[in-house]
Amino acid sequence: MIYVIARMELNEGCKDAMLAVLAKTVPQVLAEEGCIMYTPCLDADDADGKYLTLVEAWKNREVHKAHLEMPHMADFRAAVKDLRKGCDVKIIEPVM
């Protein structure tokens, strides 16, 4: 199993638009083979919604790579390109 932590810095005032895009995307991702978890999270101490983090769990790197090539992920990237300043992605694996 791998975990993916994707932290996005949102453009000012874009939190609601990002959440609307995710409301459509999350069910599609959760339906993918090998997806164990795909959870959007807001920072608990960030009232303005400046950062949004996707916490993901995948069966392995291969299914995660396939996920990135899915048509709905291309749609997601196009829909959010003007909503965020960037995205920092970390892929981590359990050691125990």
- Mean pLDDT, to the nearest integer, of 69-87? 97
- Mean pLDDT, to the nearest integer, of 74-93? 97
pLDDT exceeds 80 at position 14: yes
Q: How far apart are CA 49 and CA 31, in angstroms?
A: 27
pTM beyond 0.85, yes or no: yes
pLDDT exceeds 90 at position 17: yes
* Dihedral (CA of 67, 82, 44, 6) sign: positive
Q: How far apart are CA 79 and CA 47, in angstroms?
A: 23
